[in-house]
Structure 1
Amino acid sequence: MNSKLILPAALGLLAAVAAPASAEGDRYQAFSNTAESITGDISMDDFSITFANGESLTFAALLGDHFVVAGERVNASVYSIEDPSDPELENGNRLCGAGDVTYLANWAGGEGLTIVAVFTGDEPPESSDDMCASYTYQD
């Protein structure tokens, strides 16, 4: 076999394997009334969340992998928001409505469901007690 053909083929295969599976992230269908009326369907990955109207929040850092929900510690992702804001979403509604979103957490909410909670505080949230809003999506 010609070695001049092997290297380009190997590099092409490596690039295909290293490329992200989807530029849009994982897609979630709005499930709760609040998600349907405010965010619509979303896409989310380790870097950002994008709402049905195209608005998005970019994550600055993953701050934790556990979170307290209703007094129980659960596996979750807790992110800081790179440029805090309260974007206008579906029907003129805002994501939080009580100030700029500074943190976001998400966790499994039961069979096939994902919960996304948003926060406005200066300190990273440790529990769902301080959220300004939460939204439920179907995986």
Structure 2
Amino acid sequence: MTMKKICFPACLAFIAASFLTAPLALADGDHYTAVSNTAMSVTGDVWMDDFSITFENDESLEFSDLVADHFRVNGKKIPASLYRVKDPADPELQNGNALCGAGDVTYLANWALDDGMTAIAVFTGNRPPKSDQDMCALYTYEDPK
């Protein structure tokens, strides 16, 4: 048997396995451990980077762009990331709970909290939110180590 006959099937198997595991690659971002009751019961742990967020049940939202790098929380302007969701949705997550429950999520913001935690807020609406006042849900996570 020639080397080509041996290598070709092995290469095809590798390529097929790569495509089959591609959705799991989204979970390669920073791992955030759910700590708030809301996060534990709705999202579970999440994996997030500048391109998407993946929830514990493997549902995910892809971002189309970073809209802002500052955000108002409790009236104060703070460093934060505000992302536009590429395909707005309100995915069903843990225990049949929806991420927002009040319509499709169009924006997602995250920022650091003082105690080594991270907040993730989700929003509906056509315009980028300027503050946490219009969020439909807030989740708290332990920062990745």
Query: TM-score higher than 0.5 here?
Result: yes
Q: Does 1:98 align with 2:106?
A: no
SS in 2 for 1:126: coil
Which amino acid in the other structure matches residue 106 of structure 2? T
Assess if the C-alpha contact under 8 Å between 2:27 and 2:54 holds in 1.
Answer: no
Q: Does 1:28 align with 2:40?
A: no
CA distances 1:81-108 after superposition (whole Å, capped 9, x unpaired): 0000000000000000000000000000
Greater than 2 Å deviation, 4+ residue runs: none
Please report the TM-score for the alignment, with normalisation by the length of structure 1. Answer: 0.83
SS in 2 for 1:66: strand
- 2:68 aligned residue: 64
SS in 1 for 2:81: strand
Name structure 2 gaps, 5 residues minimum. 1-25
Q: Does 1:48 align with 2:82?
A: no
- More displaced 10-residue stretch of structure 1: 68-77 or 107-116: 107-116
- 1:39 aligned residue: 43
Name structure 1 gaps, 5 residues minimum. 1-21
What's the RMSD between the two structures over aligned residues?
1.1
Which protein is richer in helix relative to its size? 2
Equivalent pairs: percent with the same residue? 64
